[in-house]
């Protein structure tokens, strides 16, 4: 269980690194750059939440059978591969937004499948909040793609 949670943390870090890269690539568009930076910081927060759960609760958790460390490693490798490609050939802002929307949707699905069985309801709420944040990321990225405007959380 500890490895599963730590791999989830690594995925969040890799996504954050990608978004920070996008923030630098599109610095000439301040609103878009700030959207990437904000989303990257939130992914770092998710990383810390997974690490905290790993340290404090890994011995008390039972993973959903649909999630394996191998599957998570494939996701991590895919995110790192995308980042490598971005470094070699940066996508257009529109392509980067579409890529990130797809990535966030996959993270929502992965978090949903990785819902762990906690006896502690506060930890359950923590991971549900991460999924809600991923949904907000999708909405903000989609709105910017459609309108060029930032969506503020409700």
**Contact between 18 and 82 (Cβ < 8 Å):** yes
Chain centroid to CA 1: how far? 20
Mean pLDDT of 56-81: 78
Distance CA 65, CA 12 (A): 21
Which residues on neighbouring strands pair with residue 62, listed in sequence order?
117
Look over the chain and give the mean of its residue pLDDT values, rounded to a whole number. 84
- Token digits of residue 90: 């940066």
Domain-wise residue ranges, the chain: 2-147
The pTM of this model reads 0.85
Look at the domain 2-147 and name its fold. Ferritin (1.20.1260)
- Token digits of residue 30: 């301040």
Reported as a pLDDT band with limits 50, 70 and 90, residue 154 is: very low
Alpha helices in 29-92 (DSSP H): 30-57, 69-88
């Amino acid at each position: 269980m500890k490895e599963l949670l730590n791999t989830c943390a690594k995925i969040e870090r890799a996504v954050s690194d990608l978004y920070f890269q996008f923030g630098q690539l599109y610095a000439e568009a301040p609103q878009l750059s700030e959207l990437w930076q904000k989303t990257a910081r939130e992914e770092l927060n998710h990383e810390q939440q997974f690490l905290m759960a790993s340290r404090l609760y890994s011995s008390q958790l039972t993973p959903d059978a649909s999630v394996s460390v191998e599957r998570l490693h494939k996701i991590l490798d895919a995110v790192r591969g995308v980042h490598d490609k971005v470094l070699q050939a940066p996508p257009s802002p529109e392509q980067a937004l579409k890529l990130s929307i797809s990535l966030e949707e996959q993270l929502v699905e992965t978090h949903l499948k990785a819902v762990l069985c906690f006896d502690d309801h506060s930890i359950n709420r923590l991971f549900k909040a991460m999924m809600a944040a991923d949904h907000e990321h999708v909405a903000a990225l989609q709105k910017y793609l459609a309108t060029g405007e930032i969506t503020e959380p409700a």
